A and B are shown apart, each in its own frame.
Chain A
Amino acid sequence: MASPRVCVIGLDGTPASYLRRRIADGFLPNLAELSRQGTLMSARAPLPPISSVSWASASTGVNPGRHGVFGFVERKPESWDLTFTNVFTIAEPQVWARAAEAGMRSVVVNIPGTYPAQPNGSGVLISGFVSPTFERSVQPPSLIPFLQERGYLIDVDLGLGHKDLEAFCEQLFAHHAARTRVLVDLLDGEACDLFYVAFTGTDRLHHFLWEQMERGEEPWASRFHDYYAAVDASVGEIVSRLPDDCRLILLSDHGFCRLDQEVFVNRWLERDGWIALEEPAKSIASVIPGRTRAYCMDPGRLYLNLAGREPGGIVPPAEYESVRDELRRWAEALPFVQRVATREEAFSGPHADRAPDLVLVSENGWDLKGAVRTADLQGKGRLTGMHTQDDAFVLVRGAHPDGEADVQDVAATALDGLGIDASGVDGRVLS
């Protein structure tokens, strides 16, 4: 019997509404049983609702203004070149770090944003998306042969999703089976206090097959639901190994819905005179600073081109509020924008000064992009699903809290289950 006091299982991007519907229709028996043992709560992701940001909140218990992750991509200080966020970006201790400080041992697998893998006390850490090398994704490195023997991959070949959906699905299923085998063997073989893992194939499935699932288009709708049957079986296998008094927490880091159009926000800014780009534009580094008052970073993060902050910035700091108000009114009038949050409304903490000046929340179906490679205002490629801030879920076995959960509540609840004081984090303990 495995020993963890707390087990966290993430299903990346799984909507509460999808789970409720499938459970009501008689599918997903293991998740159905768990939803009888604890309330399947709707949950809200931080802004913007993407995995790097949301998993940082789910693992630290704090909002992005404290953990410092606002996207997968950031502009380098004093430059228009891009840099990629990673484990060093996360400015608050994750649950397993606090567990290690308290003398506890953790097994952590496939949490996005944890590359390059850092030593996890005497425990295990295998990084998740985005992990470009296997060698730097595993702590301790002595585990690499164990993973290779089981055919473990950090992620599927996402390029396949654009070229060959059948091959993509095959790899998705094989990859899921390998991940499950590794998790079960780790649970059986590694004594730990905290077992904190994520299945991220769900997110990949949604990105490429959501619309087909909604339409009932075969064979993809069946592939979609079959994949969830496999996820449900994996959850059952893990849960069957846990002690009855283990605090079990399931979550998704954001919701999902059908993607109707990808919206290239910088091209909308360009159309209305906010930004100028050198063509052919490749990234935000193609900006012409002297003719740019605002720009967008993925997915809907708007920044003023502020003098003293951006290289060649032209918006005087004294005009920050008035220009931002003007930009906010412009954004609120866009047909695909549901609402606009200011930095102060969305974030609080020591890193809020690096947060976007405004964050756009789109209507469902309109997927906001910071890309500038296309000159089009909008379009649609092979991706058919998009993230949502709402409709994520949290379920704590044995708990029936009221109201909606927040993804950051997961870390607070895990800390509490380990007997670690959670009063200093933003999340609430769900019990």
Chain B
Amino acid sequence: MSGERERPRPDGPAAEQADDADEQDEAYSEDEEAAVAARLEDLGYI
């Protein structure tokens, strides 16, 4: 989102992909993931 977000960018595409995945995982806790899934299901997305 923002220019303030400072995140280390490891070298190499695999390391970068792993970094992105870690951040995505951090975005939602397990409880939040369940809530997100329910809302997406309500609109037919999953």
- A120: Cβ under 8 A from any B Cβ: yes
- Chain B contacts for A97, CB-based, 8 A: 1-4
| Interface of chain B, main secondary structure | helix
User: Is B46 within 8 A of A130, CB to CB?
Assistant: no
User: Given contacts A94-B2, A100-B2, is CB(A371)–CB(B17) below 8 Å?
Assistant: no
User: Is A77 within 8 A of B18, CB to CB?
Assistant: yes
Once A and B bind, how many residue pairs between them come within 8 Å at the CB atom? 110
- Chain A contacts for B33, CB-based, 8 A: 84
- A338: Cβ under 8 A from any B Cβ: no
User: Is A83 within 8 A of B25, CB to CB?
Assistant: yes
- Chain B contacts for A82, CB-based, 8 A: 46
Q: How large is the interface on B (under 10, 10 to 19, 20 to 34, 35 or more residues)?
A: 20 to 34
User: Is A84 within 8 A of B36, CB to CB?
Assistant: yes
Which A320-363 residues have a C-beta within 8 angstroms of B? 353-354
User: Is B45 within 8 A of A115, CB to CB?
Assistant: no
User: Is B21 within 8 A of A76, CB to CB?
Assistant: yes
Of all chain B residues, which has the CB nearest A155? B39
Of all chain A residues, which has the CB nearest B44? A383
- B42: Cβ under 8 A from any A Cβ: yes
Of all chain A residues, which has the CB nearest B22? A88
User: Is A73 within 8 A of B20, CB to CB?
Assistant: no
Of all chain B residues, which has the CB nearest A99? B3
In the assembly, what is the distance between CA of A369 and CA of B18, in Å? 28
- Chain A contacts for B17, CB-based, 8 A: 77, 354
Q: List 19 A-B contacts (CB under 8 A).
A: A72-B45, A73-B45, A84-B24, A86-B27, A87-B27, A89-B20, A114-B1, A115-B27, A118-B1, A118-B2, A119-B4, A125-B2, A130-B40, A132-B36, A133-B35, A162-B42, A207-B44, A298-B46, A371-B46
- Add 5 more A-B contacts to A84-B37, A94-B1, A132-B31 (CB < 8 A): A83-B25, A88-B26, A97-B2, A121-B3, A132-B32
A-side residues, CB < 8 A to B, are: 50, 68, 72-74, 76-77, 82-91, 93-94, 96-98, 100-101, 114-116, 118-121, 125, 129-130, 132-133, 155, 158-159, 161-162, 207, 262, 283, 298-299, 353-354, 367, 369-371, 381, 383
B-side residues, CB < 8 A to A, are: 1-5, 13, 17-18, 20-21, 23-28, 31-33, 35-40, 42-46
Q: Give the top 10 A-B pairs by smallest Cβ distance, nearest first.
A: A158-B42, A132-B35, A88-B23, A86-B27, A132-B32, A97-B3, A87-B1, A118-B1, A97-B2, A101-B3
